[in-house]
Amino acid sequence: MSFAALRASIRRSALATPTRAAARPALRQSAVRRFTTETPAPKKSNAVLYGGLGAAVIGGVAFYVYASSSDTAKEAGSAVRSGAQAAKAAVNFVPTKADYQKVYDKIAEVIDSAENYDDGSYGPVLLRLAWHASGTYDKETGTGGSNYATMRFHPESAHGANAGLNVARDLMENVKKEFPWISYGDLWTLAGVAAVQEMGGPKIPWRPGRIDGFATQATPDGRLPDATQGADHLRNIFYRMGFNDQEIVALSGAHALGRCHTDRSGFEGPWTFSPTTVTNDYYKLLFDEKWVWKKWSGPKQLEDKKTKSLMMLPTDYVLTQDKSFKKYAKAYAENQDLWFKDFSSVVSRLFELGVPTAQFTTSEPWIMGSE
């Protein structure tokens, strides 16, 4: 399947979730397009569309209306009014935890809608989006991090490290249409939280407050780790974000999830046999399997000698080679509860990098999802 076809199928399946499917007929019948708020369905559900296209412009918001019956104009007028009212209400709207929970629930639906994509879940790629949006943070300058969601802008969107994350951003763009009041930074990090939790991981305390920034706030290329490098590089990159050795190792366990793609990073394959479930298998496999360099024309990566179906990046393997990293990796291999606890707190911190405390709307982070 070509990449374009893959993306098209991703969009289709993201739209095919029950709630969204239920919402669509209203959109199709009133055929209101390019507006961020759901409009009510016309009262006459059996109206025959004859395909006439009119344009209505109110308050600077333009959208198209298919004429459908004699009272089309009235219906269109009411759709326009309700759209304009919704937009006005949105300006004064102060979302509660229950509102964020609705966004979380929608994201959880999207995660599960990945029928033909990778291993059947969008969770891993959404977690990678949240991490790459946050991991650009530099504690010295206070730049980068999840606050401004600058990966929306070129050239950050096209940085090599972010290859393939357009898939995740496009999925979240659909969610954003339904909940236009949420900032991109909040949406993407909430998606990371949902990904971990919905794939069986620990609860990740999270709170809203990120704001949408501008292209000028984007970070330069090279802030995210390069998988071909060793321990010094990992420390340079993660110490810059404010993390220590234990936290580097705890964060790396995210590679229990997902896989590498040759058309994104150049690497190939999953780290574990259960890439859509959060387990400490990543650490266990690092120590239990014999890892050998893969013989291929791609970038240097390791494969498990036994099945040749799993992979490790040079930066993963270094966790077994560096004395300090090894100590923590062993502890996590032996104790999943310990890793869940440490992973939860370090991911929570990761997602808050670059967000001034005063910006958060609650002092205590929330636990989203079913408690």
Q: CB 20 → ligand HEM: shortest distance, Å?
A: 22
Q: Are 147 and 213 in contact (CB under 8 A)?
A: yes
Cα distance between residue 108 and residue 191, in whole Å: 8
Q: Binding string to ligand HEM for residues 105 to 144, with x set by CB under 6 A, is what?
A: -------------------xx-xx--x-------------
* Nearest of 6, 363, 320 to residue 170 by alpha carbon: 6
233 is catalytic: no
Token pair listed for 314: 């040079």
Lay out the site mask for ligand HEM across 188-227 (x = CB under 6 A, - = otherwise).
-------------------------------------x-x
Report whether 181 contacts 93 (CB < 8 A).
yes
> Restricting to residues 341-360, which ones interact with ligand HEM according to CB under 6 A?
347
Question: Which amino acid type is present at position 151?
Answer: M
Per the CB < 8 A criterion, the answer to whether 37 and 83 are in contact is yes
Residue 47 or 127: which CB sits closer to ligand HEM? 127
| Minimum CB distance to ligand HEM smaller for 184 or for 325 | 325
Question: What token pair was written down for 200?
Answer: 């069986």
Q: String of b and e for 96-114 (b: at least 16 CB within 10 Å)? A: eeeebbebbebbbbbbbbb
> Least Å distance between CB 266 and ligand HEM?
7
Closest residue by beta carbon to ligand HEM: 258
Taking the complex as a whole, the smallest distance from the CB of residue 184 to ligand HEM amounts, in Å, to: 18
Question: Which CB, 83 or 270, lies closer to ligand HEM?
Answer: 270
Distance CA 168, CA 152 (A): 11
Tokens representing 345 are 């707190």
Burial class (CB in 10 A: 0-12, 13-18, 19+), 39: buried
Is 181 one of the annotated active-site residues of the chain?
A: no
Nearer to ligand HEM, 85 or 116 (CB): 116
DSSP label of 369? S
Question: Using the rule CB under 6 A, is 258 a contact of ligand HEM?
Answer: yes
Instruction: Kindly name the residue from 131, 206, 271, 339 that is annotated as catalytic.
Output: 271
- Per CB under 6 A, 267 contacts ligand HEM: yes
Nearer to ligand HEM, 30 or 219 (CB): 219
Task: Tokens for 288, please give them.
Answer: 């239990």
Q: Is 297 exposed, middle or buried, given 0-12, 13-18 or 19+ CB atoms closer than 10 A? A: exposed
Residue 315 contacts ligand HEM per CB under 6 A: yes
Does 164 engage in binding with ligand HEM (CB under 6 A)? Answer: yes
Nearer to ligand HEM, 227 or 368 (CB): 227
List, by residue number, the catalytic residues: 132, 271
Chain residues binding ligand HEM by CB under 6 A are: 124-125, 127-128, 131, 164, 225, 227, 234, 251-252, 254-255, 257-261, 264-265, 267, 313, 315, 347
